[in-house]
Structure 1
Amino acid sequence: MTFDIISEERKSESVNAILEMSKDEKMREYIRQRNKAERDYESGLINARRQGRAEGKAEGRAEGITEERKRIIARLKSGGMTDEEISSLLGS
């Protein structure tokens, strides 16, 4: 009888140990997945910022080119050039 009781106690301890390890594994997996989700989210934000900056730079360059073209046309007109001459010169 004593052998059976000890054996059952050890079985119970073993089962509890396995259950605890299983919980720990589940928790580790949960933490791993959560960390991955956080990294993915941060990576998405970084990429969105980069894309926004690139789009902003491109838009700024386009606006700058347009403004510079307007200044050039104004200077050429003030220098006495006709619209046809300016158009021919600028290729527009």
Structure 2
Amino acid sequence: MFVVTVSIEVNAGQVDAFLPLMLQNARASLSSEPGCRQFDVYTNPERPEAVFLFEVYDSAAAFDAHLSSDHFKQFDRVTAEMIASKQVETFTEVQG
């Protein structure tokens, strides 16, 4: 499995516009990408502009397919000006 975490800081005053688009992107990923197994969206109740994503894919290639999907490209284009900062980290499963 391939896990992606994303920490997003949404610009002040943009959270109400950003979150529905984020949830739409998550739903589209789960329904149209065979390699996307989980896509959770979280916010900090004390700081709603802090958004955290937890995504699980079959592989790095499945995540690359997500980044190349039309729905992600549209989401990325529409929300670019709403985001103050974004940190993406990827993790691979430890085999024992």
TM score, norm. by length of structure 1: 0.23
Greater relative contact order structure (CA < 8 Å, 6+ sep): 2
- Which entry has the higher C-alpha Rg, 1 or 2? 1
> Quick check: which one's helix share is greater?
1
TM score, norm. by length of structure 2: 0.22
